Amino acid sequence: MMTILPIFQLIVLSNAATNEVKEVKIILLDHDLSEISRNLTRKITASDHFKLTGSLFSKKQALEKMQANEADIILEIPNRFEKEFIRGEKPAIQMLVNAINGQQATVGSGYLRNIISTYSQDILSEVHWVPQSNHSSISISTRYWYNPLLKYTDFMVPGILAELTALLTIVLTAMNVVREREIGTIEQINVTPIKKWQFIMGKLIPFLCVGMFIMTVGLTVGKIIFHIPMAGSLILLFVYAFVNIIAVLGFGLLISNFADTQQQAIFVAFFFILIFILMSGLFTPIESMPTWAQHLTKVNPLAHFIAVSRKVLMKGSGFVDLTSEFAYTLILAIVFNVSAIWSYKKQE
Amino acid sequence: MNSYSIEVENLTKKFGEFTAVDNISFKVAKGEIFGFLGANGAGKTTAMRMLTGLSKPTSGQGTVAGFNVIRDHEKIKTRIGYMSQKFSLYEDLTVRQNIRLFGGIYGLSNQEIREKSETILHDLRLSEVSSKLVAALPLGWKQRLAFAISMIHDPDIVFLDEPTGGVDPFVRRQFWEAIYEAAGHGRTIFVTTHYLDEAEYCDRVSIMVSGRIEALDTPTNLKKQFNASTMDNVFVKLVR
Ligand SMILES: Nc1ncnc2c1ncn2[C@@H]1O[C@H](COP(=O)(O)OP(=O)(O)O)[C@@H](O)[C@H]1O
Ligand SMILES: [Mg+2]
């Protein structure tokens, strides 16, 4: 196992953890519906970095989609765009970028800007009836939504906070139980009529308190030192953290059932922790991962934790926007803990 | 109801190819002090772990406190106490906290735990150190505390795995007095030791060699049978 795990890690991570962004979700608000604007749309959708998730006419609707995480970028083409372009009046295309996800936002909007400016140069040759005018060009105004100044700490700190909380609790539980196995105290417990679920609960509850405490300290530090935004309900975030910590603790306990020594426990815990972190969306946006890797993130409690803490703190998302994260995390919590109870052996 | 608290037939434990306990059969009467003797590695701990439900027998049958060792190992655990060879109370908890913890696990009420705590602290003269960490106690005190805690739920049988290992003769004496007192209340005591002089304190002893029980009787009868003056001599003759 000691050799298979790192090899697995090498394969999975080098494919999934990429700097490239893919499938940036775009919503188009084309108020002009002219030939030039349609051609531009075609150029954008032809690129495999982008995925057109809707063509709408109402900005309000488009923003709602962004709130629901169905759009990374809203591209708004004003009416009279074609006319102004031909007259050389430099019409402005507006780009609204969902900056909750730093990389998707900066890299994605960079790509898009590139496509648009290339297009504005090519336009003259492609659209034949356009009269020759050297002044014709397109200007782009960009606005970053949810993180207007694209502050790195604003999207990293909530993510790192979620990460630290999850990791510390995984390691602490796994180590704690294995340490008892090494010292021998667990034998004195196993010789009592204690039920397996009681033992697991006995380990879960204290570490759940530790986890919630870490979370509280982290949020406070984030607020005081990094001035992270707190747009949404902290209660909602804590309720979610409660479920998530139960899930990761279950995972830690599961690891402890298969380790005889603390070294083994650490090794296995760190193997999973590394995968959890690198495939959590903390660095590489989940949308940019290959599809199979995106499916893997569904069983990664950390990915959900990071998504929720960013959405709640930066976007002010409410419970309805987080139902899928809540559902997956709840399922993980149940699966991990039931497996931990089930695989705990009172008898050798 | 039968009058045996432990009955075992052909109990065997293998670790891979290696047979640690090889077809042992014996009966222990209620209230008996049963000594389980043997050199290091003879298989005493392994046998005891099967009887206490900590280890699954590879083959064989048996009952402990009236429950089947294969099927009802969790029920056995309600009726037995166990003191492992390796000291295994929580060293980073205080004396009182350890008593509380195990009292709670065995399902004692708060009232019962309070009473038991006072009795144990008083009997072992540990009242003064009751809020000290167990780690700070001398080994002899730790062992006696572990013994007392193993009986916190009033079990029918107590299993003691080398309870006097590494402690000085004075504490050993004290410990055996405590064993006698526990047996006086009708409890069965199953005790392993490699101090052969301690065999004399037992009602009956079995001598284990390489996983098998090679002799089993009262100390007096064994000495007669092997024509030896001490248990030490019995052992030497048996091993040779
Ligand atoms: N979990 C185990 N795996 C493999 N071998 C074991 C295990 N436990 C004990 N043994 C072996 O079984 C034999 C009997 O050990 P043990 O029952 O501890 O002896 P004793 O208590 O009489 O000193 C020893 O040779 C020991 O190495
Ligand atoms: Mg032993």
For chain B, domains (ranges, CATH) are 4-239 (3.40.50.300)
Q: Which token pair is A237?
A: 């975030």
**Predicted confidence (pLDDT) at residue B71 exceeds the cutoff of 70:** yes
* Angstrom distance (rounded) from CA B148 to CA A4: 48
The response to whether residue B56 sits with its C-beta less than 6 Å from ligand 1 reads no
| Inter-residue contact A335 to A87 (CB < 8 Å) | no
Nearest by CB to residue B73, choosing from A189, A194, A347, is: A347
Q: Indicate which atom in ligand 1 lies nearest the CA of residue B211.
A: 14
Strand segments, DSSP code E, in chain B are 4-15, 18-29, 33-38, 59-64, 67-68, 80-83, 157-161, 188-193, 204-209, 212-217
At residue A300, φ and ψ (nearest 5 deg) are -100, 105
Counted residue by residue, chain B has a size of 240
**Predicted confidence (pLDDT) at residue A173 exceeds the cutoff of 70:** yes
| Inter-residue contact B37 to B191 (CB < 8 Å) | no
Q: Which pLDDT belongs to residue A339?
A: 97
**Predicted confidence (pLDDT) at residue B119 exceeds the cutoff of 70:** yes
* Angstrom distance (rounded) from CA B206 to CA B36: 5
**Predicted confidence (pLDDT) at residue A104 exceeds the cutoff of 80:** no
Task: Return the residue matching tokens 């730790």.
Answer: B142
- Res. B189 pLDDT band, cuts 50 70 90: very high
**Predicted confidence (pLDDT) at residue A8 exceeds the cutoff of 80:** no
Name the residue type at position A112.
L
Q: Is A185 on the interface with B (CB under 8 A)?
A: yes
Give chain A positions within 8 Å (CB) of B89.
185, 188
Sheet holding B80-83, edge to edge: B80-83, B157-161, B188-193, B33-38, B204-209, B212-217
Q: Which pLDDT belongs to residue A5?
A: 66
Q: What is the pLDDT of residues B28-39, one digit of tens each?
A: 999 999 999 998
* Angstrom distance (rounded) from CA A273 to CA A167: 7
DSSP string, A89-113: --PEEEEEEETTSHHHHHHHHHHHH
**CATH: 3.40.50.460, 3.40.1710.10, 3.40.50.300, 3.40.50.620. Which one for A20-134?**
3.40.1710.10
Classify the C-alpha dihedral A145-A150-A154-A160 as positive or negative. positive
**Predicted confidence (pLDDT) at residue A153 exceeds the cutoff of 90:** no
Q: What is the pLDDT of residues A278-326, one digit of tens each?
A: 888 887 778 777 888 888 899 999 999 999 998 999 888 899 999 999 9
> Helices in A147-296 by DSSP H: which ranges?
152-183, 185-190, 196-226, 234-257, 262-278, 291-296
- Res. A12 pLDDT band, cuts 50 70 90: low
What is the CA(B169)–ligand 2 centre distance, in A? 20
Answer whether B80 sits within 8 Å of A191, measured CB to CB. yes
* Angstrom distance (rounded) from CA B167 to CA B195: 11
Q: Which pLDDT belongs to residue A179?
A: 93
* Angstrom distance (rounded) from CA A44 to CA B64: 77
CA atoms within a 13 Å half-sphere pointing along the CA-CB vector of B50: 28
Q: What is the pLDDT of residues A18-36, one digit of tens each?
A: 566 777 888 988 888 888 8
Q: Which token pair is A263?
A: 């070294």
DSSP 8-state assignment for residue B133:
B
| Inter-residue contact B47 to B21 (CB < 8 Å) | yes
Q: Which token pair is A173?
A: 């539980």
Answer whether A348 sits within 8 Å of B54, measured CB to CB. yes
Helix/strand/coil for A58: coil
| Inter-residue contact B132 to B169 (CB < 8 Å) | no
Cα angle vertex B80, ends B74, B85, to 5°? 105
| Inter-residue contact B53 to B76 (CB < 8 Å) | yes
* Angstrom distance (rounded) from CA B200 to CA B231: 7
- Res. B180 pLDDT band, cuts 50 70 90: very high
Nearest by CB to residue A191, choosing from B82, B91, B107, is: B82
The response to whether residue B41 sits with its C-beta less than 6 Å from ligand 1 reads yes
Residue among A186, A344, A259, A258 nearest B84 (CA): A186
Orientation of helix A102-126 relative to helix A152-183, angle to 10°: 140
Orientation of helix A323-343 relative to helix A196-226, angle to 10°: 140
| A108-119 average pLDDT score | 84
Q: Which pLDDT belongs to residue B134?
A: 95
Task: Return the residue matching tokens 């479920």.
Answer: A243
Its pTM stands at: 0.82
Cα angle vertex A95, ends A295, A287, to 5°? 10
Nearest by CB to residue A185, choosing from B75, B77, B90, is: B90
Q: What is the pLDDT of residues A117-147, one digit of tens each?
A: 888 877 766 665 666 555 667 888 888 877 7
At residue B74, φ and ψ (nearest 5 deg) are -75, -30
Q: What is the pLDDT of residues A322-341, one digit of tens each?
A: 999 999 999 999 999 999 99
Sequence ranges of the domains in chain A = 20-134, 152-343
Helix/strand/coil for A28: strand
Residue nearest to atom 10 of ligand 1 (CA): B20
Q: Is A131 on the interface with B (CB under 8 A)?
A: no
Q: Is A193 on the interface with B (CB under 8 A)?
A: yes
Q: What is the pLDDT of residues B5-63, one digit of tens each?
A: 999 999 999 999 999 999 999 999 999 999 999 988 999 999 999 999 999 999 999 99
B166 φψ region: left (φ > 0), alpha (ψ -120 to 50), beta (else): left
Q: Indicate which atom in ligand 1 lies nearest the CA of residue A348.
A: 1
| Burial readout B153-170 (b: 16 or more C-beta within 10 A, e: otherwise) | bebbbbbbbbbbbebeee
* Angstrom distance (rounded) from CA A140 to CA A128: 24
| Inter-residue contact B107 to B67 (CB < 8 Å) | no
| B114-121 average pLDDT score | 95
At residue B221, φ and ψ (nearest 5 deg) are -65, -40
Residue among B221, B197, B225, B229 nearest B37 (CA): B197
Residues from B contacting A (CB-CB < 8 Å) are 49, 52-56, 73-75, 77-78, 80, 82, 84, 86-91, 102, 105-107
* Angstrom distance (rounded) from CA A312 to CA A309: 5
At residue A228, φ and ψ (nearest 5 deg) are -65, 150
Residue among A170, A153, A206, A21 nearest A97 (CA): A21
Residue nearest to atom 4 of ligand 1 (CA): B15
Q: Which pLDDT belongs to residue A45?
A: 84
| Inter-residue contact A270 to A251 (CB < 8 Å) | no
Classify the C-alpha dihedral A233-A224-A308-A238 as positive or negative. negative
Pair type for strands B4-15 and B18-29: antiparallel
